[in-house]
Structure 1
Amino acid sequence: MKKITIGILAHVDAGKTTLSESFFYQSGLIKKMGRVDKKDSLLDYEQMERERGITVFSKEGVFKWKNTSFNLIDTPGHVDFTSEMERSLQILDYAILVINAREGIQSHTRTIFKLLEHFNVPTIIFVNKMDMAYQSSKELLKQIQNELSSFCFDASEADFQENISLLDDSYLDAFLENGDIGQYNMENAFKNRLFFPCVFGSALKNDHISFLLDFMDQYCVAYHQKEKLEGIVYKITYDKNTRLTHILLRGGSLNVKDEVYQKEKIHQIRIYHGSKFDLVQTAHEGDIIAVTGLHSLEIGMDLNGQYILEKPQIVPFLSYRIVLPDDCNQSDAIRKLRNLSYEDPNLHFHYESEINELRIQVMGEIQLEILKQIIFDRYQLPVTFDMGQISYYETISQSVEGVGHFEPLKHYSEVHLLLEPLPRGSGLQFCLDCSPSQLSLSYQNACLHYLKESYLKGVLIGGAVTDMKITVINGKAHQKHTEGGDFKEATLRALRQGLKKAKSIILEPYYAFKMTLNQEYMSKVIFDLELMDCKFEITQDEMIVIKGTGPVSKMLDYPLRFKDSTKGSGHLSYQLDGYYEVNNQEEVINQIHYNSEEDPYYPTGSIFCKNGSGFYVPWNQVEQYMHLPLKKTYQPPKNNHRQQVIDEKELEEIFIRTYGPIKHRLSKDMNRKIEIINNEKVTILPECLLVDGYNVIFSWDELKDLAKDNLDAARMKLIDMMCNYQGYKNNVLILVFDAYKVKKNDGLIEKYDNIFLVYTKEAQTADMYIERVTHDLAKNFRVVVVTSDALEQLIVSGRGATRMSSREFEMIVSHTHKENYDEFKRKNKVMKNYLLDDFKGDK
Structure 2
Amino acid sequence: MSRSLNLGILAHVDAGKTSLTERLLHATGVIGDLGSVDDGSTVTDSLELERRRGITIKAAVASFDVGDVSVNLIDTPGHSDFIAEVERVLGVLDGAVLVISAVEGVQPQTRVLMRVLQRLRIPTLLFVNKIDRRGAQCATLLASIADLLTPNIVALGDVREPGTATADFVPFDARDAAFRAMLLDRLTALDDDLLSAYVEDEGAVTARRLRRALAAQSRRARLHPVFFGSAITGAGVGQLLRGIRELLPRASDDVEGPACATVFKMERGAAGEPIAYVRVHSGTLRIRDRIKYGSRGDSREGRVTSIAVFERGASVPGNEVGAGSIAKVWGLHGIRIGDVIGDVIGDVVGDATSQRPAHYFTPPSLETVVVPRTERDRPLLHPALTLLAEQDPLINLRQDDVRREISVSLYGEVQKEVVQATLAEQFGVEVDFRPTTTICVERVLGVGTAEERIKQDGNPFLAGIGLRVEPGEAGSGIRFGYEIELGSLPIAFHKAIEETVHAVLREGLHGWQVMDARVTLTYSGYWPRQSAMHQGFNKAFSSTAGDFRNLTPLVLTDALRAAGTAVREPIHRFRAEVPADVFGTLLPVLTKLRAVPRESSVAGGTYVVDGDIPAGRVHELEQLLPPLTRGSGVLESAFDHFSDVTGPPPERARTDLNPLDRKEYLLRLSRRVG
Give the TM interval when normalised to the shorter protein: 0.7 to 0.9
* Structure 2 residue aligned with 1:390: 438
Distance (whole Å) between structure 1 residues aligned to residue 452 and residue 391 of structure 2: 35
Matched-pair contact (CA < 8 Å) for 2:187–2:213: no
Equivalent residues in 2 for 1:669-818, closer than 5 Å: none
Q: Residue 206 of structure 2 aligns with which residue?
A: 179
Partner in structure 1 of residue 168 of structure 2? none
Structure 1 residues 762-790: Cα deviation after superposition (integer angstroms, max 9, x where no partner)? xxxxxxxxxxxxxxxxxxxxxxxxxxxxx
Relative distance call for 1:105 and 1:439 in structure 2 (3 A) is same
Change (3 A) 1:13 1:137: same
* 2-structure distance, mates of 1:477, 1:212: 67
The match for 2:189 is 166
- For these two proteins, the number of residue pairs brought into alignment is 602
Q: For 1:53-92, what aligned pairs fall within 5 Å after superposition? A: 53-92=54-93
Matched, 1:194 2:241: no
- Kept in 2, the 8 Å contact 1:189–1:195? The answer is yes
Matched-pair contact (CA < 8 Å) for 1:439–1:477: yes
Match of 1:573 in 2: 636
Give distance in 2, aligned partners of 1:340 and 1:471. Answer: 36
**Is 1:354 equivalent to 2:402 in the alignment?**
yes
| Cα separation, partners in 2 of 1:102 and 1:402, compared to 1, 3 Å | farther
**Equivalences for residues 120-159 of structure 1 within 5 A:** 120-132=121-133, 134-156=135-157, 157=172, 158-159=179-180
Does the CA contact (< 8 Å) of 1:400 and 1:498 recur in 2?
yes
**Correspondence 1:466 to 2:551:** no
Of 548, 553, 559, which aligns to 2:622?
559
Contact 2:453 2:459 in 1 (8 A): no
Aligned letter for 1:500? R
Alpha carbons 2:601, 2:608 under 8 Å: kept: yes
Q: Rate the CA distance shift 1:420–1:23 in 2: closer, same or farther, 3 A.
A: farther
Shift of 1:174: 4.0
Single out whichever of 548-557 and 183-192 deviates more from structure 2: 183-192
Q: Are 2:303 and 1:265 aligned? A: yes
Please show how residues 30-429 of structure 1 align to structure 2 within 5 Å. 30-132=31-133, 134-156=135-157, 157=172, 158-159=179-180, 161-162=183-184, 163-175=186-198, 176=202, 177-179=204-206, 185-226=213-254, 227=256, 228-240=258-270, 241-261=272-292, 262-272=300-310, 276-304=314-342, 308=353, 310-312=357-359, 313-328=361-376, 330=378, 333-403=381-451, 411-429=461-479
Task: Name 1:603's counterpart in structure 2.
Answer: 659
Bigger mean CA offset, 49-58 vs 295-304: 295-304
**1 or 2 for the larger relative contact order (CA 8 Å, sep ≥6)?**
2
Q: Report the counterpart of residue 754 of structure 1 in structure 2.
A: none
Contact 2:266 2:276 in 1 (8 A): yes
Displacement after TM superposition at 1:406 (Å): 7.7
Given the alignment, which residue of 482, 489, 492 partners 2:550? Answer: 489
- CA 569–343 in structure 1, closer or farther in 2 if over 3 Å, else same: closer
Question: Aligned pair in 2 of structure 1 residues 324, 278: CA closer, same or farther (>3 Å)?
Answer: same
Cα distance in structure 1, aligned partners of 2:128 and 2:290: 45
- Equivalent residue, structure 1, for 2:163: none
Cα distance in 2 between the residues matched to 1:131 and 1:209: 13
Distance in 1 of aligned mates of 2:77 and 2:362: 14
- Tell me the TM-score normalised to structure 1 length: 0.67
* CA pair 333-38 structure 1, distance change in 2 beyond 3 A: closer
| Offset from partner CA, 1:366-409 (integer Å, 9 cap, x none) | 21222122223333222322222111211123344454668678
**TM-fit CA distance, 1:35:** 1.2
Distance 1:523 1:453 in 2: 49
2:5 corresponds to which residue? 4
Segments of 5+ residues of structure 2 without an aligned counterpart are 158-171, 173-178, 293-299, 530-541, 669-674
1:211 to partner: Cα distance: 0.9
Deviation at 1:485, TM superposition (A): 1.7
* Counterpart secondary structure, 2:416: helix
CA contact (8 A) 2:64 2:312 kept: no
Indicate the percent of aligned positions where both proteins have the same amino acid: 24
Residues 406 and 489 of structure 1 are in contact (CA less than 8 Å); yes or no, is this contact kept in structure 2?
A: no
The alpha carbon displacement at 1:325 in A equals 4.9
TM-aligned CA distance change 1:238 to 1:603, over 3 Å: same
The RMSD of aligned alpha carbons is 2.8
Q: Is 1:28 equivalent to 2:42 in the alignment?
A: no
AA aligned opposite 1:558: L
The 3-state SS of whatever aligns with 1:9 is strand
- Pick closer, same or farther for the CA change 1:170–1:79 going to 2, 3 Å: same
* Post-superposition offset of 1:333: 4.2
Judge conservation of contact 2:6–2:251 (CA < 8 Å) in 1.
no
In the alignment, the residues of structure 1 paired with residue 10 and residue 415 of structure 2 have an alpha-carbon distance, to the nearest angstrom, of 18
Cα-to-partner distance string for 1:116-145 (whole Å, 9 max, x where unaligned): 223322211111001115254221100000
Q: Quick check: which one's strand share is greater?
A: 2
Which of 481, 485, 491 matches 1:435? 485
Contact 1:229 1:254 (8 Å CA) reproduced: yes
Contact 1:404 1:491 in 2 (8 A): no
Amino acid in structure 2 at the alignment position of 1:258:
D
Deviation at 1:289, TM superposition (A): 0.8
Equivalent position of 1:448 in the other structure = 498
With over 3 angstroms needed to count, the CA separation of the structure-2 counterparts of 1:362 and 1:275, relative to structure 1, is: farther
For 1:593 and 1:280, how far apart are their aligned partners in 2?
Answer: 50
Q: Give the conservation status (yes or no) of the 8 Å contact 2:469–2:517.
A: yes
CA distance in 1 between counterparts of 2:53 and 2:29 reads 28
- Mean Cα displacement is larger for which, 157-166 or 536-545? 157-166
Gaps in structure 1 of 5+ consecutive residues: 608-613, 617-843
Task: State the AA in 2 paired with 1:417.
Answer: L
For 1:188-247, what per-residue CA distance to the aligned partner results, in whole angstroms no more than 9, with x for missing partners?
422332111111111111111111111121122223341221211111111221210111
TM-score normalized by the length of structure 2: 0.83
* One-letter amino acid of the structure 1 residue matched with residue 187 of structure 2: I
Q: Deviations over 1:80-124 (max 9, x none)?
A: 111111111111111111011100111111111122223322211
- Select 1:504's aligned residue among 565, 572, 577: 565
Q: CA deviation at 1:432?
A: 5.1
Provide the secondary structure at the position in 2 that maps to 1:14. coil
* Aligned mates of 1:352, 1:479 — CA distance in 2: 36
Secondary structure, aligned partner of 2:290: coil
Tell me how far apart the structure 2 counterparts of residues 510 and 337 of structure 1 sit (CA, whole Å). 28
